[in-house]
Every structure is written in C-alpha cells, then in structure tokens.
DNA sequence: ATTGACATACCAACCGGTATGTATGTTTAT
DNA sequence: ATAAACATACATACCGGTTGGTATGTCAAT
C-alpha cells in the first residue's frame, strides 16, 4: 500500500469529479432552469470535460435527476428534516426553521430550488416529477411527524389535523417563495414568515393571540 | 361600407389569426413550458404558418409576453378579479372562488398557468418576470380590496391586516397548486381548499370555529 | 398600386450526444 | 514481483438534428 490512500487530490478522483458536476449543475439549473441551462456552461464551471460528464451520467436528464436526489435532497435534509427529526421541541424548531429563511431580495429572486424544478419539469419528464414528488412527500411527512410529536407533548391542540397543517405550512412556504421570486421581493418573504409563525402559534393550546 | 364589417370570417382575419396563435401558444406553453415548447407545434395547432407568427410577434419571447398579457391575464380576471370587484359579499365570493377550484388529478397535474411561467421564466428573462409580477400584484391587490370591503361591512374582524391576509391566501393557493402539480394529486387541492376556507372563516367576527 | 397579411422555403447556430483516443489504476496469472 | 490483461476515468473532436429566425413571394383589401 502506498501512502496515497485518500484525502490527497489525485488526478483521478471520480467522487470529486462527480461532486463538482453536481454542484456546477445545481448552480446553472438554479440560474437558467433545466431546459434553459447549457451543458457546456456546467462543464466550464465544474472544470471538467464532456467525456467526464457522460462517464458519470448517461444523459442530461440523468444529471438533473442526480441533482435532485443528491444536492436538493441534501439541502432539504439539512434545513428541514434533520432538525425536525432530532428536536425535542418540534414546534419551536419548526418556527425557528421558518424564521431562518433568508429574506433578502437576492435570495427571494432565486426561489426554492425544489419548487423551481418541480414547476418547470413535472409535466415535461416523469423522472423529474417522481423525484420532486418524493421530496415534497418526505418534507410534508417529517413536518407532520413533528407536529404529531408536539401534540403528544401537549404543545399543540389535540384536535388539529397534523397532516393537514403540515401540508398547509409547506404549501404556504412554497407559495410565498414563488410570489417573492416573481416580485424579487424579500419583503414578501418577511411578511410570509411572520404570517406562518403567527399561524403556528395560534395552534398552541392555551394562548394569547388577539 | 360593405356588409362585411365584422362577425364574418374572411380569409384575411388578423384578429382571429392572432387569437389562434395566442390560444395554441398558451396550450403548448402550459404543456411543455416556455423554453420546452416548440414553435412549429404551436403553428400546427393554430393552423397558421411561421410567416403569420412573425408578422404578429417579432420573437418567441414576444409571443410569450402576449400570452401572459392577454390569455393568462384574462383567465385571472374572469376567475378572481371580476367576481371580487363586483361582489357585495366579498368574503363569501372569495370562498366561492376558492371552492370553485377544479380538484381532479388532471387539473392538478397542470398547475397554475401563471405560476408555471413565473417559476420557469422569472430569472431567465426580465420581460416574463415583470409581467408575472404585475399579475400577482393585481391579484393580491384585488383580494386585499375585497377583504377591506368585507371589513367595512363588519364581515371580517377589524384588527386583521387585509393586505397580509390577501398575500397569505394567494401564497397558500399557489403553494397548494404547486405541490398538487408535482404529486399529480387532486386530493391535495381538495385539502387545500378546505384548509383555506377554514382559515378565512376563522377571520369572521363572531364565530364558532372549534 | 400600395400596404398589410399572410405562405413557402430556407438558413444558421446552438447544443445534446457520440465516437474515439488515452492515461491511470486494478486485478490476475505465472 | 511483475507483466499482461482489463477496467475505470477521463479528454478531444465532431456530428447532426432541432429550432428560432429570416428572406422572399403572393394574395387580398383599400
């Protein structure tokens, strides 16, 4: 065995190459949409050639699928799913996540990466639709679980439908993101955060919300 | 003046030609997205040639802009703006509009034409962004006006922020449409309608909503 | 007869995809 | 241990179909 087992950046580093393609692809897709983005632009940004791309992915669609499964899923996992799953104060964590939304115009204009791809590609290619649907479902499920746990703790009224509320929260969140993107308005996002947090607080058992 | 002033379908009928291009364009854009749709497919569906298209519009983008300004704006006007403006029971009308949403899987999978274009094109081309933003703004404004009028009638609690609630409703509506599109689920839309109506009813002054 | 309203034919560039070559590991037989 | 044999991981060059756009011709209306 030589010294160079890992950590070192060999000229041959398939994992790194694949990761660079995914990140560059994500950024370009986020900018121009999937159909609107250019493979050569992705290659330029990633610093690899078309041969490398088509070694790791056998079509542009396959790259898009991988971007959803790896990059977008990872972002969702880090920002929403993981914190919610590990929290023992789920409702507070949920509110904190929502309040953690970046509300500058720059971020607003970008929109939600998941929703961007879902809206553009769902009717165009089934692979995209299935993958975005899986991510939405996992997202809603995890929020619903968190709300159910909050209910078990007595932090949430027992008569509310956790699943319906989870759908409501995710829908409202994506809706605000959509409108804010079109209006290039971080202010819309701020108002949305306030509104959603107020709504969640109104679901607490003994509350003062007049 | 001859008899043939209007109504008759002359072989030369620029207004009709333009309208056919807009309708065919709308349908193709609704199916495949703007960047994904094919001009020749639009021409085939409209039954006109490329010469006719480029006589009425000087680019594909210009056609897209006209689809937003004419077709999408008209749909929004008919379903939301006009009923809300003319109603003397604005809150009930708003609820009726929401409940009038088609909740079959077919419609769900199509999504909202306005949101489809907004999400796909806002970052790609400024003309699309500006036009979708104008439509969202008009939509929210009209809902806000309706809520304010409901407030003046005493049909809505005086302490609520009409504009914030209008944004909330439109955002939630578009969010549900987005998720339902990805999930191809009319059931999601049904749940959304129920949730939004319940929310609106909770804004009434003296109410029983436990 | 001149302008608007199209039709037809065609172009040219972009871009996803491929064919092919090559350098770098990895295994296997001796 | 080592070399052959093979597989992986790219690089380069190029193809060809798609598609937005144009140039030109023709017909109708005033």
pLDDT tens figures, A141-164: 999 999 999 999 999 999 999 999
Average pLDDT, chain A: 92
| CATH superfamily, with its number, for domain B60-201 | Tetracycline Repressor, domain 2 (1.10.357.10)
Q: Is the CB of B157 under 7 A from strand C?
A: no
Question: Of the ranges A16-25, A192-201, B17-26, which is most confident?
Answer: A192-201
Q: Do domains A12-58 and A70-201 have the same CATH topology?
A: no
**CB contact (8 A) between residue B136 and residue A171:** no
Task: Specify the range with the lowest mean pLDDT, choosing from A7-16, A33-42, B49-58, B106-115.
Answer: A7-16
DSSP state of B112: -
DSSP state of B202: T
Give the C-alpha separation, A163 to A202, whole Å: 16
Average pLDDT, chain B: 91
Segment B190-194 shows an average pLDDT of: 98
B13-58 is a CATH 1.10.10 domain: yes
Q: Is B134 exposed, middle or buried (0-12, 13-18, 19+ CB in 10 A)?
A: middle
Give the C-alpha separation, A167 to B175, whole Å: 9
Residue B51 pLDDT? 84
Q: Is the CB of A40 under 7 A from strand C?
A: yes
pLDDT exceeds 70 at position B134: yes
Residue A4 pLDDT? 34
Give the C-alpha separation, B95 to B111, whole Å: 20
Give the C-alpha separation, A113 to A88, whole Å: 28
Residue B97: CB partners within 8 Å, gap ≥ 6? B79, B80, B83, B84
Q: Is the CB of A39 under 7 A from strand D?
A: no
Residues 162-201 of A with CB under 8 A from B: 164, 167-168, 170-176, 178-179, 181-184, 188, 191-192, 194-195
* Shortest CA to C1' contact from B41: nucleotide: D19
Q: In degrees, to the nearest 5, what angle opens at C-alpha A168 toward C-alphas A162 and A171?
A: 140
Q: Where are the domains of chain A?
A: 12-58, 70-201
CA nearest neighbour of B121 among B109, B135, B107, B108: B135
Closest-CA residue in chain A for B210?
A159
A12-58 is a CATH 1.20.1250 domain: no
Question: What are the CB-based long-range contacts (under 8 Å, 24+) for B130-138?
Answer: B131/B65, B131/B68, B131/B69, B132/A182, B132/B68, B133/A182, B133/A183, B133/A184, B135/B68, B135/B72, B135/B73, B135/B76, B136/A179, B136/A182, B136/A183, B136/B170, B137/A183, B138/B76, B138/B81
Residues of B in contact with A143 (CB under 8 A): none
CB burial readout B89-98, b (16+ within 10 A) else e: ebbebbbebb
* C-alpha distance from residue B201 to each of A132, B157, B209 (Å): 32, 11, 8
Give the C-alpha separation, B94 to B140, whole Å: 12
Question: Nearest CA of chain A to the CA of B12: how many Å?
Answer: 36
Confidence tier at A51 by pLDDT (50, 70, 90): confident
Residue A209 pLDDT? 45
Q: In degrees, to the nearest 5, what angle opens at C-alpha A180 toward C-alphas A177 and A182?
A: 110
Give the C-alpha separation, B77 to A23, whole Å: 41
* C-alpha distance from residue B90 to each of B84, B97, B142, B150, B168 (Å): 6, 10, 10, 6, 16
Class of the CATH-defined domain A70-201: mainly alpha
Task: Specify the range with the lowest mean pLDDT, choosing from A27-36, A99-108, A185-194.
Answer: A27-36
CA nearest neighbour of A204 among A159, A141, A139: A159
Residue A101 pLDDT? 98
In tens, the pLDDT along B14-66 reads 888 899 899 999 999 999 999 999 999 999 888 898 988 998 998 999 999 99
Give the C-alpha separation, B118 to A174, whole Å: 13
Of chain B, the percentage scoring pLDDT greater than 70 comes to 92
Residue A169 pLDDT? 98
**Side-chain half-sphere exposure of A133, counting CA atoms within 13 A:** 18
pLDDT exceeds 60 at position A73: yes
CA nearest neighbour of B121 among B29, B14, B28: B29
**Side-chain half-sphere exposure of B128, counting CA atoms within 13 A:** 22
């Amino acid at each position: 065995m030589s010294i160079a087992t890992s950590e070192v950046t060999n000229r041959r580093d398939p994992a790194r190459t694949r990761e660079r393609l995914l990140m560059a692809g994500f950024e370009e897709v986020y900018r121009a949409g999937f159909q609107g983005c250019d493979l050569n632009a992705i290659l330029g940004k990633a610093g690899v050639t078309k041969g490398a791309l088509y070694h790791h992915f056998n079509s542009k669609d396959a790259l898009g699928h991988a971007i959803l499964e790896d990059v977008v899923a990872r972002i969702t996992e880090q920002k929403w799913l993981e914190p919610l799953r590990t929290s023992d104060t789920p409702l507070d964590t949920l509110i904190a996540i929502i309040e953690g939304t970046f509300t500058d115009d720059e971020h607003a204009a970008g929109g939600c990466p998941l929703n961007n791809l879902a809206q553009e590609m769902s009717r165009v290619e089934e692979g995209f639709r299935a993958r975005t649907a899986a991510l939405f479902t996992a997202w809603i499920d995890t929020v619903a679980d968190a709300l159910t746990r909050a209910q078990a703790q007595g932090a949430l009224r027992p008569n509310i439908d956790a699943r319906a509320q989870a759908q409501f929260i995710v829908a409202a969140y994506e809706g605000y993101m959509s409108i804010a993107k079109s209006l290039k308005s971080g202010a819309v996002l701020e108002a949305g955060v306030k509104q959603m947090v107020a709504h969640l607080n109104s679901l607490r058992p003994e509350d003062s919300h007049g």
